[in-house]
């Protein structure tokens, strides 16, 4: 009887440890992605929207003063390469990832890098 009670209490203790910890395997990270082709706040909004659609992204904000996207994400659900791909897919350069040229061509003129005259 004593052994059964000890076993039961041990089981409850172990279960409660998992319940308290939430069994979470999330690995939250924050990264900075250079977005040198972003030109205006419309660009910033499009980049932020694209990033927020990526599974695992909890926060995304573009700082236009330094042309950097600050992204907080779950590294068990996405990667920096996936974040760069989302930005490139929206028509903007992301670090070394080249913008999707077809999407870039359809951006408003204010969102395109000025060409030298």
Query: If phi over 0 gives left and psi between -120 and 50 gives alpha, with beta otherwise, what is residue 54?
Result: beta
Residue 69 and residue 74: Cα distance in Å, rounded?
16
Give 86-98 pLDDT, tens digit per residue: 999 999 999 999 9
Residue 35 and residue 9: Cα distance in Å, rounded?
55
Give 23-81 pLDDT, tens digit per residue: 557 899 999 999 999 999 999 999 999 999 999 999 999 999 999 999 999 999 999 99
């Amino acid at each position: 009887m004593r052994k059964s009670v000890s076993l039961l209490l041990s089981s409850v203790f172990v279960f409660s440890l998992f319940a308290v910890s939430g069994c979470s395997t999330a690995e939250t990270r924050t990264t900075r992605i250079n977005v040198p082709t972003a030109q205006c706040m419309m660009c910033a909004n499009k980049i932020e929207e694209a990033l927020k659609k990526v599974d695992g992204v909890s926060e995304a904000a573009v700082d236009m003063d330094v042309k950097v996207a600050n992204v907080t994400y779950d590294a068990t659900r996405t990667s920096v390469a996936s974040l760069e791909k989302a930005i490139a897919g929206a028509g903007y350069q992301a670090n070394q990832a080249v913008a999707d040229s077809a999407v870039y061509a359809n951006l408003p003129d204010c969102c395109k890098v000025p060409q030298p005259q």
